[in-house]
Structure 1
């Protein structure tokens, strides 16, 4: 579900200066323990709660040591963001210069890797510590577009006093995460930042479009990798009897023999010689150049007997499967964790419209839900049923939640927030 509705911090038709004054009052009231005269956006209030829970204070920035030049250079050389930097420069760098902004590219840990744009804004950013090598994670500098986008996994605009730290209130920032199409994991974020006077509702859409452009470049790279793997797979499969397939390290299928065509097989984080896959049951895995040869058990798929949805570690969600043939686990994306949590809490099932309301607050987004559920059911074959969407009757489901603290703290899904009691 990559199509998200964008939420500009200053809606069209709103006077930015009036908005900034109102936000300053809300910031003082909320963080001072008072009931604010108007509610901050859910995105912002959730972030403020996380930051307060981390022990931060709005008037006292944490001291953070930036990366050494050697470490910064290493991260630049070993990130997939380097591959898409020319595309990001082409789509945003010139705009940043003209709009008195800076374009910033950060890695998945929130470290600033590259920064370009208007010279006077770069100097102001230097005084704030917003420079290459600095960490812009939420738990380091509070609510901000880069750190918050990395937490929630979607495009974010943060304006003036929506920033947690008072020292950041003269800024407006818009950031969007960039995902690796092979794994779905966030590899970093692209950001436009500048003085509050430069705020514009379209900036968020521009940053989101730049992130999608970067992802399309990574998709092309991935397709080329799969083509090279197919050249390896063809002679390997030709010499085998029985059902088998060749995948890349992330489970994307390059070639198959005797198996119904699938795009991807969900592999566990650690692939052993003998493993269990939700789609096929017991398998034997052998390394090949650029991926895995997976031989399928001819007795066919084995259904799991118990599924454990482990949500105890804040931003990390895991699915663990225990079957007669062995155990298996996989880290979940934030969206998949939300979906499975909602289904686990509604054993009777949810229609597409109900899930759309649960996840987006909009029952009309049923088409988006159906597309995502189709992907989930291909990944977790035998575990999920439909009409309505639910866990299969043969599956026993357990949910593990934190002993203290909220479940899925970064989630803004209305049903997750309701289940948290917010």
Structure 2
């Protein structure tokens, strides 16, 4: 008989000290391979499993070297997180300070870039190594409110002994991922932390709501930047003949001329001026324009050649696709849903229809509208490398998939039945 998971939030609200004792007993029993009276919450049990498989020591507090102050400053200046710090401070900091919490903001690599709040709690955080420049990835310091939300890409609250490393058991963290609303790429995590007795069950919803407000602010800033680029692009395009478009540095379209509108063009990370091959457009003349690029589409297509596609799923929570052709290569970080779909297509080289993919993803073959919408988004950056009816990688592509060392770590956020089956050894 499977024991039910513990309702941690309810117990903490009634008796924080009792909750800490129960969680400690549960953790010790689980690590000893024994059955406890109650089960860990699913997100905690899954994280503990990842820690045991990756070799994190639950009895020793490992701390990687802090980033130097100038490196923290450089990362702050280059991170899009800097644009939303006012939103995070307004939404979290005033309450956090009064409630004896601290607010921590880390980048996508788990490095702490900002840390503000109650002075006594900041001093306690120093004792845990929760300092500016510290590395709080899950596979470095165990289950926690920064690293675990970055892996599963959803808000997570970690109470007391739910932390995998014993020395963190006096602490409670609530973190939510912050993603780039343009492409779903993880850019950081915001976390509210403090001693167990100061935390409230509603903290999870509170932190998640503020993280979503921050993402909405990023969306507003992006739309404003496209408007500025559009004003510069209009007179330039009016003087050109043929197909052309102006995009920002991330490939989002500001204006087009002589061709249908494309919402976004996949660009290589290190795009430079000159003649380049771009997905969905083919051969283009690339020229810098203001804070973006002018792309003039060549009328003659390039001859076809074999293309290599590398689908990297080896890092829990961080998936990417790399395309290499004779004309150059480019990489793109994938959203969790796109990682699932491309993995399934790599498994089914002969192709998979919308109903089959819906069955694989949701256990429901009728959810074809969702599948078609997501595949349409994928084709915006993979272009002619994907066929349809059925969906498939084209014949002149070589596909390589990098999987995690342990099958259980495959796409940890995914609840797709087909992915769940592949996590089971054998």
**For the superposition of Structure 1 and Structure 2, which TM-score range results when normalised by the shorter chain?**
0.7 to 0.9
| Partner residue in 2 for 1:418 | 421
Query: TM-score, structure 2 length as denominator?
Result: 0.83
User: Is the 8 Å Cα contact of residues 312 and 407 (structure 1) preserved in structure 2?
Assistant: no
Query: TM-score, structure 1 length as denominator?
Result: 0.83
* 1:337 partnered with 2:331: no
Residue by residue over 1:49-87, the C-alpha shift from the partner in whole angstroms, topping out at 9 and shown as x without a partner, is 443444321111113333333333333344322221111
User: Is the 8 Å Cα contact of residues 51 and 142 (structure 1) preserved in structure 2?
Assistant: yes
User: Is the 8 Å Cα contact of residues 384 and 392 (structure 1) preserved in structure 2?
Assistant: yes
User: Is the 8 Å Cα contact of residues 160 and 171 (structure 1) preserved in structure 2?
Assistant: yes
Give the Cα separation in 1 of the matches to 2:195 and 2:243: 60
Structure 1: segments with no counterpart, 5+ residues? 1-6
Matches within 5 A, 1:145-224: 145-182=145-182, 184-224=184-224
Which piece of structure 1 moves more, 16-25 or 331-340? 16-25
CA 362–29 in structure 1, closer or farther in 2 if over 3 Å, else same: farther
Give the Cα separation in 2 of the matches to 1:141 and 1:311: 24
| Partner residue in 1 for 2:375 | 373
Indicate the SS of the match to 2:383. Answer: coil
Indicate the SS of the match to 2:284. Answer: strand
Structure 2: segments with no counterpart, 5+ residues? none
Residue by residue over 1:276-314, the C-alpha shift from the partner in whole angstroms, topping out at 9 and shown as x without a partner, is 223122222222221111121224698886552432642
Give the Cα separation in 2 of the matches to 1:408 and 1:142: 15
| Partner residue in 1 for 2:137 | 137
Give the Cα separation in 2 of the matches to 1:221 and 1:255: 18
User: Is the 8 Å Cα contact of residues 23 and 162 (structure 1) preserved in structure 2?
Assistant: yes
Matches within 5 A, 1:10-409: 10=8, 20-34=20-34, 39-182=39-182, 184-272=184-272, 273-299=274-300, 306=307, 308-311=309-312, 313-315=314-316, 316-321=318-323, 326-335=327-336, 336-346=338-348, 347-349=350-352, 351=354, 355=358, 358-359=360-361, 369=371, 371-384=373-386, 390-391=391-392, 394=395, 396=397, 398-402=399-403, 404-406=405-407, 409=410
Which piece of structure 1 moves more, 240-249 or 296-305? 296-305
CA 321–333 in structure 1, closer or farther in 2 if over 3 Å, else same: closer
Q: CA deviation at 1:259?
A: 1.6
Give the Cα separation in 2 of the matches to 1:307 and 1:10: 48
Residue by residue over 1:12-54, the C-alpha shift from the partner in whole angstroms, topping out at 9 and shown as x without a partner, is 6886756544543342233335566665444334433443444
Give the Cα separation in 2 of the matches to 1:419 and 1:55: 22
Q: CA RMSD in A?
A: 3.5
Give the Cα separation in 2 of the matches to 1:301 and 1:260: 21
Which piece of structure 1 moves more, 408-417 or 225-234? 408-417
Indicate the SS of the match to 1:381. Answer: helix
Which piece of structure 1 moves more, 109-118 or 378-387? 378-387
